[in-house]
Structure 1
Amino acid sequence: MRITNKIMQRNNLSNINTNKVYQDKLSTQMSTQKKVSRPSDDPVVSIRALRLRSNVTEVTQYYSKNIPDAESWLDVTEDALKNLTEIITNMIQQCTKASNGDLKSADRQIILEQLKALGDEVYSTGDADYAGRYVFTGYRTDTSLSFDKEYNTKYEITEQLDNSSITQLTKVNTGKLLDITANNYNDQNQDYKDITENSVSSTDVYRIRLAYDDCKEGGNVKIKFGTTELSTAGRTIRATTSTANPDPYTDIEKYPNGAIYVADTGELLIGKDLYNQMMACKDDPATSDKNEGEIQITYEKDHWVKGDLRPEHYFACTSTDADGKVTDYNKSYLDGKSEKQVIEYDVGFNQTIQVNSTADECFQHGIGRTVDDLVQAMQDVVDLENVKTKIEGLQETATGTDAETLTKQMEAVEKALTLAKDKCQKMFESGITTFQGYLDDANLCVTNCGTRSSKLELIDNRMKSQKTTFETLKSENEDIDVTETAIDLKSAEMTYEAALMATGKVMQTTLLNFI
């Protein structure tokens, strides 16, 4: 084959262009620090790069955003729960002090004030929020656990209990003893003069303490257990108040097969025969989808004060606002289909972690209601001690029949005080056990929260390691070796320059030079 100068020129120009393309490729790699600038440069590297970039993005989302967010939520929850445990521990300490039978009146007053303050604080802790989301309210993160001010919204509430909720209450009936003053102690017309030791009595009653007090007296109250249904509409349940005449705590004896609903205190007093029926009502283990031992109590409450727990976080209920708008909450609870409102974060590949604790696990109604009972029992003792002090002052100057009247009244006060102190001491002793149960529940929530935090810390460490691994693989796949590429680029430049020199000499020589 004959090689002409023209062929040599074309070949040299083609090779120079190839060297220039190679030099441009290396120059682009040096400027971008990447092996490829378009998928066609290396399809295998490009596909692998897309996969690794996706992995790095996911791990970064978990490690830099989801995990810190979950950690913050758990930290807020744990702080609130620890505060709750401190409050309940203080309540136990106050119960321990109050169970001492030799307390002075001033000591009782201090304990009384302490319990009231602790009772006001316990549910405020439950309104803890993270980034504007309430942490103890399940899926309703935009709704506070308790009411933030006074509301007049009607709620029809159905509590689902069992016969363990029925307790025995000792009620000390003091009659008009607490109304005695220096002006009326000898008033015959008002029966104060006739007060004697026999005017004081003590009654034991069975009761179910509802979640709320200050309920609607005129609302239709219903009790359902087993196949039995009772209601105020059928008059099997009588609605009244604690200050009504006759006294509901003694009047319940007249309703052995019925109940008395005490609206202002939120109590359902149970007749003896009805109590026996309820205690005999038990769940059948063979029917797992139905609780035959459940006691459903439906009642109404239309006035709420700051600090009252919102019923929609606990019960099946229906609210009716001032405009007549009706909203149903948790109706599935009545069919035994209560769903745990768990909030979970994606913190890893196919891995989630629960971050929330729900109010029913720790901020239970029984804490505040137990405080109410203890405060009332202590207040009864304090009130009787004040009456005793009044009578002792009157006895110093009284003579004749007035002195005899005051002596009888003093005997009545002494009896009432003995009964009230005995009741108070037993209730505070029982309160220690009750609050210890709530403290155990709160500690369990703290433990669960701590366990989740520990698990999240392990996940965090693993995600950190995976992030480093994927970033390393991504870099090895996409990034150039700068030293090697710089050497190749320099070599390409020298080759290109040498090619230009050689081609220049070839281009200078033609066939005419040899003629």
Structure 2
Amino acid sequence: MRMTNKIMRNNSIYNINQNKILQDQLTNQMTSQSKIVRPSDDPVVAIRALRLRNNVSAVTQYNDKNAEDAKQWLKLTEDALLTINSVLNGLCEQSETGANKYQTSKDLKIIMEQMESLTKEFYSSGNVDYAGRFIFSGYRTDTPVTFTQADILEMGKHPVSFEIEEDIDYKQISTINYTNYDVVDGPAPGAGAASYEQGVTNVDLYRFRLSYNGLDSINGGNNNSKMPGAIQMQDKNGNTIRLDDQGLSWLDADGNPLPAGDPLTQITIEEEMDPEAAYKKVADPNFKGIVYCPTSGELIFGQEFYQNNFKEGDSFTFTYDKSSWADGDANPVHHFKCIETKDIGDGTMTDVRKTAYNVREKMEGKDQDIYYDVGFNQQIQVNTRADEVFTHDVRRDMDDFDHCLKELEAIEQKEKEIEDKMKEFAEGTPQYEDYQKKLDAVKKAGSYIRESIHNKFENQITKYQQYQDETRVAMTNNATRGSRLELIATRLTNQKATFKELQTDNEGIDVTEVAVELTSSEMTYSAALMATSKIMQTNLMNYI
């Protein structure tokens, strides 16, 4: 085959151009520090680069954003739980001080003021927020655990009523001690030095203590919503006793009236607004039913009724209405299945909006746990729910203490009144002797009341310790999540470093190697130009 000058020239130009392309590639690699500029440079490297970049992006999101967010949430929860534990410890210490039965009402009042302050702090700790989200509120992160002053002001313009369903079992039936000394306000019931004393009675009453006081009454006159309230008691078979403005009714699980012979129809419920009047009525041996006291949030009954109608394993669902709220009250939407009726008109409850809460959650047994994605197919719970820590019992226990203080103040006042009356008569006169008997009776009643307060404080120490145990369980769970998150964060940091190293190995260049190749390419290019120009200077005519 004859090799012409044209063929040689074309081949030389092609080879020089290929060398120039290589030079361009090496120059781009040096300037970009990357093996490829466009996917077509190396499709395998390009595909692997896309995958590694996605991995680095995901790990960066998990490690730098999600995990850090979760850490902050858990840290705020830890701080709040530590505060709550400290508050409960303070309440326990105050209970130990209050257990002294020889304290006066003034001494007890000082202790109570400190306990009230601690109780307010207990619930206010639940309103901790992180970046505008309340950390104990479950999915409702825009709603604080307790009602705030702003909420109460708004309710003053547009009343809000809640129909609340609360489950209470047999073990939650509690007792309250009641002392009746009305006998000293009348004539001597009989002859003898102890006639008044014998008229002083002291009994233990039983009760279902609901989670709130200040509930709506049946007639509705004093309710903030101006609507009549109701109380409903349902057993585990679905049978119901309901007391409303239409009276008392007994219904089966389908809503049909129970037959007259059913044992449930023998149970009656009466409403009594004044707690003292309610206790007095139940303390009467002839009373055989239940007294509902909306003011104190209790359903009270006697020992005989308790023994005849309740047994181990019983459970009940109580439905009641509450429209009077105060700053610091726990919002029921975080604890119960409830229906909110909110005025959206002129404040008269003629134009309302109803909203149901926790219906599906209670039916399906679901909890409002919040999870963060902190890894590939890996989640971690970050929240502690209000119902795990903020029990209503802390507030309701303070209500019981308030009642104890009022009882002690009343008996001390009665004792002072009688002592003042005795000063009006000479010792030995019939009037003086009569007041002396009354004083002895009042002192006997006072000893009952002081003993009851002493027992209440002693039992309360154990209760506060139980609340602390629940708080510590929440603290342990939160700490466990934090420890797991630390392990995950460490692994994510290592993964991020590994993926970045793989990314560098895949896309990055060896600068030294590329520099040598580029220099070699430049020298080859120059040599090729010189050789080609030398060859092209000679043609066939030079030999003719």
So what's the TM-score if we normalise by structure 1? 0.89
Query: What is the aligned partner in structure 2 of residue 472 from structure 1?
Result: 501
CA-based RMSD of the aligned residues comes to: 2.6
Alignment of structure 1 residues 486-501 onto 2, 5 Å: 486-501=515-530
1:210-267 per-residue CA deviation (whole Å, 9 max, x = no partner) reads 00000011122111114442121326211111257575553664442x3111010000
Query: What is the aligned partner in structure 2 of residue 353 from structure 1?
Result: 380
User: For 1:267, which of 273, 298, 303 is the aligned residue?
Assistant: 298
**Cα distance, 1:383 vs structure 2:** 4.2
User: For 2:176, which of 156, 169, 192 is the aligned residue?
Assistant: 169
Q: Matches of 1:477 and 1:403 in 2, distance apart?
A: 107
Contact 1:158 1:315 in 2 (8 A): yes
Q: Matches of 1:508 and 1:411 in 2, distance apart?
A: 141
Q: Matches of 2:425 and 2:122 in 1, distance apart?
A: 48
Query: What is the aligned partner in structure 2 of residue 307 from structure 1?
Result: 328
SS of 1:451's partner is helix
Query: What is the aligned partner in structure 2 of residue 128 from structure 1?
Result: 128
Alignment of structure 1 residues 313-332 onto 2, 5 Å: 313-323=334-344, 324-332=352-360
1:223 paired to 2:233: yes
Query: What is the aligned partner in structure 1 of residue 252 from structure 2?
Result: none
Q: Matches of 2:73 and 2:397 in 1, distance apart?
A: 30
1:510 paired to 2:539: yes
Query: What is the aligned partner in structure 2 of residue 288 from structure 1?
Result: none
Query: What is the aligned partner in structure 1 of residue 369 from structure 2?
Result: 342
1:358-417 per-residue CA deviation (whole Å, 9 max, x = no partner) reads 111111111111122123213422443355456556655665677556534433431222
Contact 2:129 2:135 in 1 (8 A): yes
**Cα distance, 1:268 vs structure 2:** 0.6
Contact 2:206 2:302 in 1 (8 A): yes
**Cα distance, 1:512 vs structure 2:** 3.2
**Cα distance, 1:457 vs structure 2:** 0.4
Query: What is the aligned partner in structure 1 of residue 259 from structure 2?
Result: none
SS of 2:343's partner is coil
User: For 1:157, which of 145, 153, 164 is the aligned residue?
Assistant: 164
Structure 2 residues not aligned, in runs of 5+: 188-194, 219-228, 250-267, 345-351
1:234 paired to 2:265: no
Q: Matches of 1:55 and 1:503 in 2, distance apart?
A: 50
Contact 2:233 2:242 in 1 (8 A): yes
Contact 1:88 1:435 in 2 (8 A): yes
1:37-92 per-residue CA deviation (whole Å, 9 max, x = no partner) reads 11111111111111111111111111000100000110111111111111111111
Q: Matches of 2:61 and 2:373 in 1, distance apart?
A: 9
SS of 2:310's partner is helix
Contact 1:161 1:295 in 2 (8 A): yes
1:159-201 per-residue CA deviation (whole Å, 9 max, x = no partner) reads 1111111112111234498xxxxxxx999xxxxxxx9545643
User: For 1:438, which of 461, 464, 467 is the aligned residue?
Assistant: 467
Change (3 A) 1:79 1:513: same
Letter in 2 for 1:295: F
Q: Matches of 2:280 and 2:161 in 1, distance apart?
A: 25
Contact 2:203 2:283 in 1 (8 A): no
**Cα distance, 1:133 vs structure 2:** 1.0
Q: Matches of 1:174 and 1:333 in 2, distance apart?
A: 49
**Cα distance, 1:511 vs structure 2:** 2.9
Q: Matches of 2:87 and 2:455 in 1, distance apart?
A: 22
Query: What is the aligned partner in structure 2 of residue 205 from structure 1?
Result: 205
User: For 1:453, which of 465, 482, 486 is the aligned residue?
Assistant: 482
Query: What is the aligned partner in structure 1 of residue 348 from structure 2?
Result: none
Q: Matches of 1:506 and 1:434 in 2, distance apart?
A: 106
Contact 2:292 2:300 in 1 (8 A): yes
Q: Matches of 2:361 and 2:179 in 1, distance apart?
A: 38
Q: Matches of 1:454 and 1:251 in 2, distance apart?
A: 55
Structure 1 residues not aligned, in runs of 5+: 178-184, 188-194, 283-292
Contact 1:9 1:507 in 2 (8 A): yes
Change (3 A) 1:271 1:143: same
SS of 1:143's partner is coil
Contact 1:241 1:248 in 2 (8 A): no
Letter in 1 for 2:367: K
Change (3 A) 1:264 1:498: same
| Larger deviation, residues 99-108 vs 355-364 | 99-108
**Cα distance, 1:121 vs structure 2:** 1.5
SS of 2:214's partner is coil
1:400-452 per-residue CA deviation (whole Å, 9 max, x = no partner) reads 67755653443343122201100000011110111111110001100110111
SS of 2:48's partner is helix
Contact 1:226 1:281 in 2 (8 A): no
1:119 paired to 2:119: yes
User: For 2:397, which of 362, 370, 375 is the aligned residue?
Assistant: 370
Contact 1:56 1:471 in 2 (8 A): yes
Contact 1:205 1:249 in 2 (8 A): no
Q: Matches of 1:121 and 1:175 in 2, distance apart?
A: 39
Contact 2:361 2:367 in 1 (8 A): no
Change (3 A) 1:244 1:85: closer
Contact 1:167 1:208 in 2 (8 A): yes
Letter in 1 for 2:282: T
Letter in 1 for 2:299: L
Contact 1:203 1:250 in 2 (8 A): no
> How many residues of Structure 1 are paired with residues of Structure 2 in the alignment?
490
**Cα distance, 1:209 vs structure 2:** 0.5
Contact 2:337 2:357 in 1 (8 A): yes
Q: Matches of 1:431 and 1:141 in 2, distance apart?
A: 33
Change (3 A) 1:117 1:325: same
SS of 2:515's partner is helix
Contact 1:330 1:338 in 2 (8 A): no
Q: Matches of 1:244 and 1:394 in 2, distance apart?
A: 26
**Cα distance, 1:270 vs structure 2:** 2.6
Letter in 2 for 1:225: D
**Cα distance, 1:334 vs structure 2:** 6.1
